[in-house]
Structure 1
Amino acid sequence: MADSGSIVVTEARKQHPLSQIAASGTHRLLLKQWVKEEDLLARRVALREARLDGARKEIAFLYCAFFAFHAASVLLLFLSSSTAGPASACRRSWIPCLVSLLSSLAMLWALRYKSDTEAVLERLLAREREDALLLARAKSLRVEAKGADRPRRWQARDLAVFALFAVACGVLVLTRFLLCN
């Protein structure tokens, strides 16, 4: 019975890809360092994923706040224009329009900042995952030089910012229409 158990352990040890390194006393320290590095990379990946999830939640909150603000401002302007005289409301309409425009631009700036943060976190997470994958496969890391001065390409998050800017401008036009007509 004892012999069959030791045979199974020996066969399992031979099947493991690192069995030759673990068998050598001089390489055992290197193997332990490798396992520590693998654990460190796994923790870094988990931390980056948590930060990326937080950034995405903040972006979703900013989208909701943008639309909620404009819905509330249009509702308040409609209610105020129906109670006040049309001539006085039209003369003072530049104040709510200016406030709406400035707050829209502030929200769009915050949204753009958070989406840039999300893009940076995605790149860092991809790099950490690649490092972990390369370490797990025991491949050497290659440094690839990419041109740093290449022209900027428009991305999907830029399209969202432009669409929200168009919505803000539409609300501005709607505000003038509600107050002056």
Structure 2
Amino acid sequence: MTLLALEEAGPVEGDRIEHGSVIPAETLPWLARLGVTVVTQPHFPVERGREYATDVDPADQAHLYRCRSLAEAGIPLAAGTDAPYGSADPWAVMRAAVERSGGEAVARRAALDLFVGEPQHAYRVRRLAVGSVADLFLLHVPLKEALDLMSADVVRATFVGGRRITPPD
């Protein structure tokens, strides 16, 4: 129904589907043509697997919170924690994206990129520029090691809008 509404209204820059929960494989070309970003929660099948096994139609279970298949279809992709309804830890979400089954796993760097998008274009990885206001995290270890560990323990500090938020000053 969402795709029909987007098709009828005509997608515009910045349109996105939040909580792309059940996305059948046959809709991937349609989504790609519309060019809308899908924001997924790849950790939900891990965190809610038991509930999904009983509460979600068996025909829909393979289509839950896709990740790799969306990226491979050229669909702009981002992820979120959906806290407090899921883990608030983006590293846990990234680990889930890397460890997904059913062909939906992504590489470690791709999992990180799901969280570092521009505000208006969540799929577009932000880059720092001289004079820009910082939204970033400072690591205790090199990025490669942080991606191997995928743990919040590697973060020394987080800055949003140029202000340090963790640990507090």
Q: Same fold (TM over 0.5)?
A: no
Ranked by relative contact order (alpha carbons within 8 Å, sequence separation 6 or more), the top structure is 1
- Would you tell me which structure has more strand in proportion to its own residues? 2
Alignment TM-score, normalising by the size of structure 1: 0.19
Alignment TM-score, normalising by the size of structure 2: 0.20
Say which one has the larger Rg: 1
